[in-house]
Amino acid sequence: MSTFQGDERIEALHAQILERNPGEREFHQAVGEVLETLAPVLRQRPEFVEARLIERICEPERQIIFRVPWTDDAGDIHVNRGFRVEFNSALGPYKGGLRFHPTVNLGIVKFLGFEQIFKNALTGLSIGGGKGGSDFDPKGRSDAEVMRFCQSFMTELYRHLGEHTDVPAGDIGVGGREIGYLFGQYRRITNRYEAGVLTGKGTAWGGSQVRTEATGYGVVLFTAEMLRARGRSLEGLRVAVSGSGNVALYAIEKAQQLGATVVTCSDSGGYVVDEKGIDLDLLKQIKEIERGRVADYAERRGGDARYVTTGGVWDVPCDVALPCATQNELTGEDAATLVRNGVIAVAEGANMPTTPEGVRVLQEAGVAFGPGKAANAGGVATSALEMQQNAARESWSFSRTETRLAEVMRDIHDACVQTAERYGRPGDYVVGANIAGFERVAEAMLAQGVI
C-alpha cells in the first residue's frame, strides 16, 4: 500500500499520466494544474491515496470516438470524427457541452471533460463530468448542412445518452440551432420526448430561461464577488473582454448592468476598442443574427471604435479582464502587460484561457484571479437547473432562474475562499476551486467503492 510523499509523488503521478496519454498537451496542462494544488489534501487524507483516487479520477470512465459522415448541399460526402468522453459520474449523470470546431481532438475533449468534473462538483448540484464534440466546422455552412451533420452525429451518439446517464449541452460551435437539430434526431430515433437529455434547448420546448446568458452572467457575478471580498464593486470600472461569442456577449451585458464600461471584444481576425463602451445591441445584431465579424462592428459603430489586427486585446488598459474566447489565449507576457496597466481582477469565462505562466504572474502581482472551473460554472449550473425543470415538467421565470444562478455563483465563490483558507492559502481561488471540487468528488468515489 503506497502513500504520497508530498510533491515528489504527485510529480511521479503526473509523469505517469503524461506517458499514458501521449501528445494530449491541453489534457496534460489541465491535469498538472489540478495536481500541483492537491499535495496538502493528500497528506491530510491518506484514505484518498490508498483508494488510488488520483489515478482513477484522471482516467475517464468511458471514451467514445466515432465516424460522422454527411452530405453537403452540392451532394459531396464529408467524413468527420465525433467524440464523447464520459469522465466521471460519481456525483450524477455526465454533464458537459459539445464543441464543433476544426481544432477538436481527443486531447482537447479530455482536457475539457477533466475540468468539467471539478466545475460541476463546485456547483453543489448532482452532476458528473463529461465533454464531447467533433472536428466539424459549422462556420460558412448552410442550415441544411448543419442539420444533416447533427443528424448523423446524433445517430451514433444517442445510444450513449439519457437523462440519468449523460446529458450534453452546447459549447463553441453548438448553439440553439445545433441543439435543436440534435434533439430532434434523438427524439426521432428513440421515440421518446426525453427533454432532460440535452440542455440549452429553446424555451418553447423545454429550455430554461437564462441558459443563453448563464456562462457570461456567471463569470461577471463571480468577478463581482471577488471584488466585494476586497471592498470593491464593478461600478465605474473599465473592463476588457476577449471573444464575441455567447459567453463574451453576455459577460458584456452583465458587466454593463453592474455599472462597468466594457471597451473591447474580439474574434480570430482582431479586436475592437470602443472607448465609449461596447454598443451591445449592435454587437448582438452582427454576431448573433448576421454571423458577422467584429471588424463589421467597428465599421458600423464609427466614432471612437477602432479595429486592431496587431498585438492583442490584453494590450488595452483595464481594471478587469475577462478572457472569454478559448484556451491559452492569455499568456505570461499578456499577464505582465495587464499588471503594468493596473488590472485588479481577472476571471476566466472560457475554459483554461490563461496559461500557467499567466496565472503565476497574476497571482504574484496580487491580482484577484478566478479560474474557469469556478468563474464560468454558471452555464453548467443553469443546465442542471434546466434538467430540474424538465424532470418536474416546470418552467421557471427569468427572474427566478437568474436569482438561483446568482446564489450558485455566490456559493461557489464562498466555497473557494473557505477551502483556500482551510489549507493555508487565503485568497488563492485556484487552490480553493481545485480542492473544493476534488474533495466532493473524492468523497463520493470513496463511498461507492472501487469502480
Measured distance between the N- and C-terminal CA atoms of the chain, rounded to whole angstroms: 18
Angle, helix 6-20 to helix 25-35, in steps of 10 degrees = 160
Among this protein's residues, is 131 annotated catalytic? yes
CA dihedral 263, 266, 270, 275 (to 10 degrees): -10
Catalytic residue among 131, 201, 254, 287: 131
To the question of whether residue 95 is assigned a binding role by annotation, the answer is yes
Cα–Cα distance for residue pair 357/428, rounded to 1 Å: 15
To the question of whether residue 244 is assigned a binding role by annotation, the answer is no
To the question of whether residue 246 is assigned a binding role by annotation, the answer is yes
To the question of whether residue 173 is assigned a binding role by annotation, the answer is no
Cα–Cα distance for residue pair 450/105, rounded to 1 Å: 29
To the question of whether residue 383 is assigned a binding role by annotation, the answer is yes
To the question of whether residue 170 is assigned a binding role by annotation, the answer is yes
Cβ contact 99:116 at 8 Å: no
To the question of whether residue 191 is assigned a binding role by annotation, the answer is no
Binding-site positions for substrate: 95, 116, 119, 170, 383
Binding-site positions for NAD(+): 215, 246
Catalytic residues: 131
